[in-house]
A and B are shown apart, each in its own frame.
Chain A
Amino acid sequence: MDQNSIHRVRRQALGIAHGVGLFLAMLVICLPGIWIVLSSLRPTVEIMAKPPVWIPQELSLDAYVAMFSGIGKGGIPVLDYFRNSLIISVTSTVIAIVIGMAGGYAFARYRFRAKSAMFLGLMLTRTVPGIALSLPLFFVYARLGIIDTHFGLILVYVALNVPFTVWLIDGFFRQVPKDLAEAAQIDGCTRWQAFWQVEFPLAGPGIASAGIFAFLTSWNEFALASQLTRSINSKTLPVGLLDYTSEFTIDWRGMCALAVVMIIPALTLTFIVQKHLVGGLTSGAVKG
């Protein structure tokens, strides 16, 4: 073989290896999710079968029907959990975004003393593990009587999300050239008007994605919610998932179905923002 054909063969082999590697990697990523969706549609007998049944014999939506038909039919109050999750996540996201916009704007547009120390300080509050924070909060909340209320959880999630929204929104405001707002001010806008008319619309998509990020954090949070909620008054979906394990046997199919219910809103929202999210996190990387 001359050198050309050796080179060609090597190139093809590399191409195939690359394809196979890519396929395997994607398979590993997708498999757990697919398995959960599949299991939620199969009867329990099939899940428990020994030797395992690989190809589903019958698919049904029974698990979902049972789950949403209320407490009476051996289900857990998923609707209540879903409502709690939604109320808490949406409210805390909106508040966190408003606070984050104010903070992010301050970091992006003003110079002030101890700016980087302040930024690091904000970030450090985020590093406190939820379980460590839950101990004093549990005590304080018990004293104030706001355990097992929406308000209590919303307050915590706002605090949890503010550092991150400030970071992201700071990045998005920095991408908006300063000159634009200055030009608007020269043309007679007040700083307030310049912000809403010029800078806010330009940073808008970024802020929206920061919002979705905050929403997902609240939607998925477990460590704090598990200690600060007690009943259907405020239990969220992640805590509700544990309802299936509290008994002697685990209802795998029901759990899988609830998992699917939890993941669908998260999945939809993440697809919408994926582009902006990466941009926001890396905007400071090269420019500093």
Chain B
Amino acid sequence: MKGWKLSPPFLLLLPAVIVLAAVVVVPLLLSLYSSFTPFRLTRPETFWVFIGARNYINIFTSRDFWVAFARTVVLLTVALNLEMLIGLGLALLVEKASRGQRLLRTIMMFPMMFSPILVGFQFKFMFNDNIGLVNNALQALGLTDRAIPWLIDGNLAFIAILTAEIWSSTSVFAILILAGLLAMPREPVEAARVDGCTPWQTFRYVTWPFIMPFAFIAMTIRSLDVARAYDIVKIMTDGGPAGRTELVWTLVARTAYSDAKMGLANAMAYFSILLSIGFTVYFYRKLAAARTQIAAEW
């Protein structure tokens, strides 16, 4: 510690540190401990039984967990990449618009205001096999004559969840990339054009490096919040039917609250925390690298 000499920044940061320690760090230490016990909510005395790494061994040998884990990683990777691409496209479209930019930008922010739970509900409604907008439209257009079981078939449900996820988070990318495009100096683009670059080359070698940090800020913000997908999946399919859309988070919730196996669930939760931290640190470092690159070139 810094002794009892209280420096101003230390004092100013103290409340934040205390709250985070009390609500996040200490409970996490507790859950780390309980991941080494067979703790069940219904039997409090099991909290004091130490079983070593048995929970972790159970997880390592559990096929269900690894399937859910792999599905989560695939979902996040596909979703983040598509969100980035679509967000970039959207930002370029809006930037090119000559009129109504303000209105367009406002509309673009629309999905950001939706609570993930609402996004889930909304798409559950739209993908409903009987009364959903998607099936109704497909049938009205004559593309299919039977109801497509969007939320019942495993692969289709994955697509439905992916759609919901992309719809809700693309605007984060679009807005931040647009901010980058608007902040970009005009001269380098014009110089590139004068020098005979094709539009693609201009974009690839002039525009893209400049907006990259903005894209990575969006990635970092987004990766802080990857677990939002839990809310969406929880309401759309709740991991079902029969675990076909199970993600790490829904599996943790089910193990902890339905099966009451707190110890095991805490061990699983640690994997999901590492997953989130992994995504965040990865993009944070990309962001730092992109920043120094910009600083060197401009």
Q: Which residues of A contact B (CB under 8 A)?
A: 18, 21-22, 25-26, 28-33, 35-36, 39, 47-48, 50-52, 54, 98-100, 102-103, 105-106, 110, 112, 118, 120, 122-133, 135-140, 155-156, 158-159, 162-163, 166, 216, 219-223, 226-227, 238, 241-242, 245, 252, 255-256, 259, 262-263, 266-267, 270-271, 274, 278-279, 281-282, 285-286, 288
Report the 7 A-B pairs with minimum CB-CB distance, sorted nearest first: A129-B227, A220-B115, A159-B23, A132-B269, A136-B27, A106-B12, A136-B31
Which chain A residues border B73 with CB–CB below 8 Å? none
- Does B189 interact with chain A (Cβ within 8 Å)? no
Question: Known contacts being A106-B8, A106-B12, is A281 close to B217, with CB within 8 Å?
Answer: yes
Question: Known contacts being A36-B122, A122-B16, A285-B180, is A131 close to B249, with CB within 8 Å?
Answer: yes
- Besides A102-B16, A131-B269, A263-B118, 11 other CB < 8 A contacts? A35-B126, A51-B139, A118-B13, A124-B277, A129-B227, A129-B272, A135-B262, A259-B118, A266-B113, A266-B115, A271-B106
Question: Known contacts being A99-B15, A133-B28, A282-B217, is A288 close to B253, with CB within 8 Å?
Answer: no
- Does B105 interact with chain A (Cβ within 8 Å)? yes
Q: Judging by beta carbons under 8 Å apart, are B249 and A32 in contact? A: no
Name the contact of B116 in the complex, choosing from A30, A222, A252 (C-beta under 8 A).
A222
Which chain A residues border B10 with CB–CB below 8 Å? 112
Q: Judging by beta carbons under 8 Å apart, are A124 and B280 in contact? A: yes
- Does B34 interact with chain A (Cβ within 8 Å)? yes
Sample (20) of A-B pairs whose CB atoms are under 8 Å apart: A22-B97, A26-B108, A29-B171, A103-B12, A124-B277, A128-B273, A131-B252, A131-B272, A132-B272, A135-B31, A136-B31, A136-B266, A137-B27, A158-B19, A159-B24, A219-B115, A222-B234, A255-B121, A263-B115, A285-B213
Q: Mark B105-141, 1 if CB is under 8 A from A, else 0.
A: 1111111111111100111011000110100100110
Name the contact of A129 in the complex, choosing from B25, B30, B230 (C-beta under 8 A).
B230
Q: Judging by beta carbons under 8 Å apart, are A32 and B126 in contact? A: yes
- Does B152 interact with chain A (Cβ within 8 Å)? no
Q: For the complex, what is the distance from the CA of A1 to the CA of B58, rounded to whole Å?
A: 74
Identify which of A28, A98, A131 gathers the most chain B CB atoms within 10 Å of its CB: A131
Q: Nearest CB to that of A19 among chain B residues?
A: B97
Which bucket holds chain B's interface residue count? 35 or more
B90 → A minimal CB distance (Å): 6
Q: Judging by beta carbons under 8 Å apart, are A285 and B256 in contact? A: no
A279 → B minimal CB distance (Å): 8
Q: Judging by beta carbons under 8 Å apart, are B140 and A162 in contact? A: no
Q: Judging by beta carbons under 8 Å apart, are B131 and A252 in contact? A: yes
Question: Known contacts being A99-B16, A135-B265, A270-B112, is A125 close to B224, with CB within 8 Å?
Answer: no
Q: For the complex, what is the distance from the CA of A266 to the CA of B112, rounded to whole Å?
A: 9
Q: Judging by beta carbons under 8 Å apart, are B117 and A100 in contact? A: no
Contact residues of B between 1 and 41, Cβ < 8 Å to A? 7-10, 12-13, 15-16, 19-20, 22-25, 27-28, 30-31, 34, 41
- Does B294 interact with chain A (Cβ within 8 Å)? yes
Question: Known contacts being A123-B224, A223-B230, is A48 close to B116, with CB within 8 Å?
Answer: no
Which chain A residues border B279 with CB–CB below 8 Å? 127
Contact residues of B between 256 and 283, Cβ < 8 Å to A? 256-257, 262, 265-266, 269-270, 272-273, 276-277, 279-280
Which chain A residues border B125 with CB–CB below 8 Å? 35-36, 39, 252, 255-256
